[in-house]
Structures are given as C-alpha cells and as structure tokens.
Amino acid sequence: MCYTFSFPMEQVRLAKFIAQTGYAARRKAEELILAGGVTVNGNPATTVTTFINPDVDRVEIFGQPCTKPEHNLYIALHKPSGYLSTTTGDSRKKVPDLLPKEATEGRRLFLVGRLDKETEGLIVLTDDGDFAQRLMHPSFEKEKEYEVIVRGRMDEKAATTLRNGVDIIVEGKPYHTYPAKVEHLTSDGKTSRFHITLGEGKKRQIRLMCAAVGHPVRYLRRVRIGSLELGDLPLGKYRLLSEQERQGLMKNAAGRLPPSFPQSFLCQKYCTFFCTALVPCSVFSLSVVCFSARFQHGMLSRTSEP
C-alpha cells in the first residue's frame, strides 16, 4: 500500500510577486492593484492582501503578462561623475547606460543608494523590486562610507564638529545631522582628505556639512554601503554581487530574505524526499513534496536574519 502526501505550494502576496518581477516596487504594486490594473487568472484583484501561487496563477497588469525572470540581477557599479542616479528621464547620461543593453533588456532596474551627479562611487542596481524596497526602507540603517577631499586645511576642531553633528539646510528646512565618524584626516595645506561614515542620507548632506565648517567639497566618492565595499572596481565598471554580499546587505533590512539565482536554480522547483519503512505484511512508501526552493532558502538563511 502506498500513501502520498503533498503539501500545498507556497502562496505569496500578489504585490510582493509583482515587485519580484521587477515591474514595480511593492508600494507601487499595491497602488496598481487598488486601481484595478491587475488580474489573476482573468479576474480583477481588488485587495492588497490577495495571495497567489506563482507556479500556477496567471498574473496580468493592464492586459500584459507579468512573469518572474529566471533569476534576478544584483549589481555593484562604480559610478563616474556626470551620470544621473535615475533610470528614467531625458537624454542625459544615466547610471544604467553603463550596463550592457543585452543584460538589462526587458528588465526594470531599481537604484539603491543614489548619488549626486557630481559624486562618484558605489551604487547598487537590481531588477528585484522587493529587494530594492527593503534596502531603501527607513529601518535599513546601514553605514555609508565616503572618501572626501575638501578645500583648505581642515583641523581637528572642524573634524570634531562634523563628528558631533552640524546644522544645515536640507531642501529649505533646518536640520541637525546625526553624529558621524571622521577618520584618516590628512592635509597638504591647500586641500584636506578624510573618510566620513554616515548612518543617514539626506540630499547633498556631506557637501552641506563640509560647507558648514568652512571647507567646500572638491571630490566625493562612496566606498562602502554596509558590508559591501567598492574595493578595486574600476571607475565606470560593474560586477555581480555574490550571494554572501547580497545576504550581508539584507541582514538588517526589513522582511525576509528573497531568493536568488543560483540557489533556486540548484534546488530546482521542488525537493522530494522518500522514506520507506518495512513493517509486517506491508510496505509504506511516503513521498513528501516539500515547500518550494524559495521557502527552503528562507529557512536556511534564518540564522543570518535579524
């Protein structure tokens, strides 16, 4: 006699699935659902609490199929000066222009850790909207480290002021910055060089902070986001993040770590275990279809989560 037990496949929130396809970030996906632009198996999805089975259900947005790519892209790029940190807009140079079109064709990219046009350094790009939103969530308090060159000889008094926080004007409103880490301060008399590490990110914050202590910025480059370092990545070049780097970025971010290639690829879609036990007069064969590889990866990664 043979008994077969099958657990139901994993259900995910519709908005989360849309975000993982790269069509839109999760909040925008929820807006699309509430606006009536999303259907599941031909039926309008009317609430953001709708769950689907990605392996079975057919999702469409304004009549167009919404499917998840075989694997997502997670890219570290060394942004040069002169490029805008945006994926849309006019004909001016943008960060995604530095990537080969054949690698990004048909994918909607999200930028994590935007930089001013004049600023160089580390920036992360991905087509995983869920991953991007978690890293951009206010609870994501990863340190960001910058190499700075300013005009004039900066003394320890000015450096201490930066460390303790300074009063600046951000988009027309007064703001007192959080304490910062300032180290490796050197000067040749005409300019000073140092590293500054922030736990927040206001628009043009470092430039405003340095100007407030009398030392306008001449050069600015981000060299680290959390545990992810720029390293020796050449200016204008990019590389794919390793799984360890991706998990490191997500370690303190909100929510559960999403899956990525090659984990889901190596595990394939399902894992099946067979257990056979012999008892008098009968043989029981138990075939258990486990949860999807995505759920398995989440369980295996639990120790790396907050």
The full DSSP string for the chain is: -EEEEEPPPPPEEHHHHHHHHTSS-HHHHHHHHHTT-EEETTEE---TT-EE-TTT--EEETTEE----SS--EEEEEEPTT-BS-SSSSSS-BGGGGS-HHHHTT---EEES---TT-EEEEEEES-HHHHHHHHSTT----EEEEEEEES---HHHHHHHHH--EEEETTEEEEPPP-EEEEEEE-SSEEEEEEEES---TTHHHHHHHHTT--EEEEEEEEETTEE-TTPPTT-EEEPPHHHHHHHHTTSSSPPPP-TTHHHHH-S--EEEEEEEETTEEEEEEEE---HHHHHHHHTGGG--
- Identify the pLDDT of residue 219: 98
- Identify the pLDDT of residue 266: 32
- Identify the pLDDT of residue 181: 97
Two tokens, residue 177: 């910055």
Q: Which residue has the tokens 């805008």?
A: 84
Q: Which of left, alpha, beta for 164 (phi over 0: left; psi -120 to 50: alpha)? A: alpha
Residue ranges and CATH numbers for the domains of the chain are 12-65 (3.10.290.10), 69-141+227-266 (3.30.70.580), 143-225 (3.30.70.1560)
Please give the distance of CA 159 from its chain centroid, rounded to a whole number.
31
- Identify the pLDDT of residue 1: 52
Two tokens, residue 279: 């008892």
Instruction: Write the burial class of residue 79 (CB in 10 Å: 0-12 exposed, 13-18 middle, 19+ buried).
Output: buried
- Identify the pLDDT of residue 151: 98
Query: How far, CA to CA in Å, does 215 sit from each of 48, 88, 187, 208, 222?
Result: 49, 34, 12, 10, 18
Active site members: 116
CA distance linking residue 138 with residue 87, whole number of Å: 22
- Identify the pLDDT of residue 164: 96
> Quick check: 47 and 71 in contact, CB under 8 A?
no
Mean pLDDT by 10 residues, the chain (306 residues): 50 85 80 90 88 86 80 93 88 91 81 93 91 77 92 96 96 94 95 96 95 98 95 96 90 50 34 36 35 32 28
- Identify the pLDDT of residue 98: 94
Two tokens, residue 176: 């007192």
- Identify the pLDDT of residue 259: 41
Predicted TM-score of the model (pTM): 0.65
